[in-house]
Amino acid sequence: MARDLVVVDRGRGPSVLAIHGQPGLGSDFDQVAHDLEGTHRVLAPDRPGYGESGGDPVGMVDNVELMADLLVERGAAPAIVVGHSYGGGIAILLAARRPEVVSGLVLVGSVGRADSIGAMDHVLALPWAGEALTAAGLLTFGRVLPRLRGLARHVPGGKLAWLEASLPDRHYVEVASRFGRQIWRSFVYEQRALMREIGDVETALHQVTVPAVVMTGTWDVVVPPSVAASVAGTLVGSELVMVARTGHFIPRDQPRAVADAIRRVQAKVDGAGESQSGGWDEVDDAGA
């Protein structure tokens, strides 16, 4: 059983599984699902330890089995799997370890290689110190930074547009107020799981054979564009999409770009007998 995960399941058509990051909720993909609901069925769960699913958090590999079970139980396999940030690592492992349930990948600001883990990631995984810093960080993330984002938005001439794109919005204030302690506990657990399992994710990149699009925001300071380029260079036949003037929160700020990437992967899946070639593209933020 998929451990009684709470899942938003909407739309009709080929299946899409949307895996949120750390921290995050299935609702992070609401605008993407809205864009796709006329052509695709989108399943967006709150992962273990988050949101309405609650319960104890689990590592990446255990998330893989839960996501695979969810797709099978809902009759939604195989699906295009979309993974944001930490969720991208789960998506890569899912495609490598349970290929029968994955038809394609869209990796959005995704982790993927061991050398992408920075010094702060290691600090946040430390006992005691990591827990204290995470608590302070989540307080800032959920209450202070959204207010700073609002101020940046009103700076004339868009001079702080890069800062606005890099910060969480008021949605995270609501999430932090409802699930604050739960998020703290899950973040700490998953940070340590990331340290343990990122090597497995990197190995899995060489085992993925499905069509893939790798997306990154040109202003992403959480998982830099260089990581996306490296991941795309490892995935055979994948496409790298650079989303201009956008930070780490691509599903929030550029949902249409994510939906378009899903459609592009769907076209490759539907034409699976045709030869696929890699490449890169750049998406502007106009009209998205």
- Report yes or no: 10 and 41 within 8 Å, Cβ to Cβ: yes
Mean pLDDT in consecutive groups of 10 residues from the start of the chain, 288 residues: 83 97 92 95 96 92 96 97 97 98 98 74 51 52 55 64 69 68 83 91 96 96 92 94 95 96 96 58 57
The pTM for the full model equals 0.86
pLDDT of 275: 44
pLDDT of 144: 54
Q: What is the DSSP string of 145-174?
A: HHHHHHHHHTSGGGTTHHHHHHS--HHHHH
Q: Domains of the chain (ranges plus CATH)?
A: 7-113+198-283 (3.40.50.1820), 119-191 (no CATH)
Q: How far apart are CA 228 and CA 109, in angstroms?
A: 7
Q: Dihedrals φ, ψ of 247, to 5°?
A: -95, -145
pLDDT of 191: 86
Q: How far apart are CA 13 and CA 247, in angstroms?
A: 30
Q: How far apart are CA 89 and CA 112, in angstroms?
A: 6
pLDDT of 113: 87
pLDDT of 41: 98
Q: Could you tell me the strand order of the sheet in which 15-19 lies?
A: 7-10, 41-45, 15-19, 79-84, 102-108, 212-217, 239-243, 279-283
